[in-house]
Structure 1
Amino acid sequence: MAKWLSSTDCIAFDIQDRVARLTLNNPARRNALSWDMLVELRAALLEADDLREVAVIVLEGAGKDFCAGYDMQAAYARYAKEDAARDAYRTGSASFDDDAWKLERFQELLRTAFTVHKPVIAKVHGNCLAGGTDLALYCDLVIAADDARIGFPATRAMGSPPNHMWFYNVGPQWAKRLLLSGDTLDGRDAARIGLVVASAPPERLEDEVMTLARRLATIDPDLLATQKRIVNLALELAGAGTLARLAAEMDSRAHLTRAKRDFDADTARHGFKEAARRRDAPFGDGVVKPSW
Structure 2
Amino acid sequence: MGKWLQSSEHLVFEVLERVARITLNRPDRRNALSWEMLTELRAALLEADDLRSVSVIVLEGAGPDFCAGYDMKSAYARYASEGDAALDYRSGSGSFDDDVWKLERFQELLRTAFVVHKPVIAKVHGHCVAGGTDLALYCDMVIAADDARIGFPATRAMGSPPNHMWIYNVGPQWAKRLLLTGDMVSGVDAARIGLVVASAPAARLEEEVATLANRLATVDPELLATQKRIVNLALELAGAGTLPRLAAEMDARAHLSRAKKEFDADVAELGFKAAVRRRDEPFGDGVARPSW
Do both share a fold (TM > 0.5)? yes
Kindly, what percent of the aligned residue pairs are identical? Answer: 78
Count how many residue pairs are aligned between Structure 1 and Structure 2. Answer: 291
Displacement of 1:241: 1.0
1:168-205 Cα distance to aligned partner (Å, 9 max, x none): 00000000000000000000000000000000000000
Displacement of 1:2: 5.1
Q: How does 1:271-282 map to 2 (within 5 A)?
A: 271-282=271-282
Kindly indicate whether residue 209 of structure 2 is the aligned counterpart of residue 209 of structure 1.
yes
SS at structure 2 position matched to 1:122: strand
Q: In 2, Cα distance between the equivalents of 1:86 and 1:3?
A: 47
Runs of 4+ in 1 over 4 A off after TM superposition: 81-85
1:70-113 Cα distance to aligned partner (Å, 9 max, x none): 10011122324544763311120111000000000000000000
Q: In 2, Cα distance between the equivalents of 1:254 and 1:112?
A: 25
1:193-244 Cα distance to aligned partner (Å, 9 max, x none): 0000000000000000000000000101000000000000000000111100
Q: How does 1:133-282 map to 2 (within 5 A)?
A: 133-282=133-282
SS at structure 2 position matched to 1:185: strand
Q: In 2, Cα distance between the equivalents of 1:87 and 1:40?
A: 26
Q: How does 1:54-133 map to 2 (within 5 A)?
A: 54-83=54-83, 86-133=86-133
Please tell me the root mean square deviation across aligned C-alpha atoms, in Å: 1.1
1:107-128 Cα distance to aligned partner (Å, 9 max, x none): 0000000000000000000000
Structure 2 length-normalised TM: 0.98
- Counterpart in 2 of 1:25? 25
Q: In 1, Cα distance between the equivalents of 2:258 and 2:60?
A: 36
Q: In 2, Cα distance between the equivalents of 1:186 and 1:221?
A: 33
Structure 2 gaps of 5+ residues are none
Judged with a 3 Å threshold, the aligned counterparts in structure 2 of structure 1 residues 3 and 273 are, in CA distance, closer, same or farther, namely same
Q: In 2, Cα distance between the equivalents of 1:106 and 1:2?
A: 32
The answer (yes or no) to whether the contact 1:191–1:199 under 8 Å persists in 2 is yes
SS at structure 2 position matched to 1:44: helix
Structure 1 gaps of 5+ residues are none
Q: In 2, Cα distance between the equivalents of 1:218 and 1:85?
A: 56
Q: In 2, Cα distance between the equivalents of 1:224 and 1:82?
A: 46
- Counterpart in 1 of 2:4? 3
The letter of the residue matching 2:4 is K
- Counterpart in 1 of 2:36? 36
The answer (yes or no) to whether the contact 2:3–2:17 under 8 Å persists in 1 is no
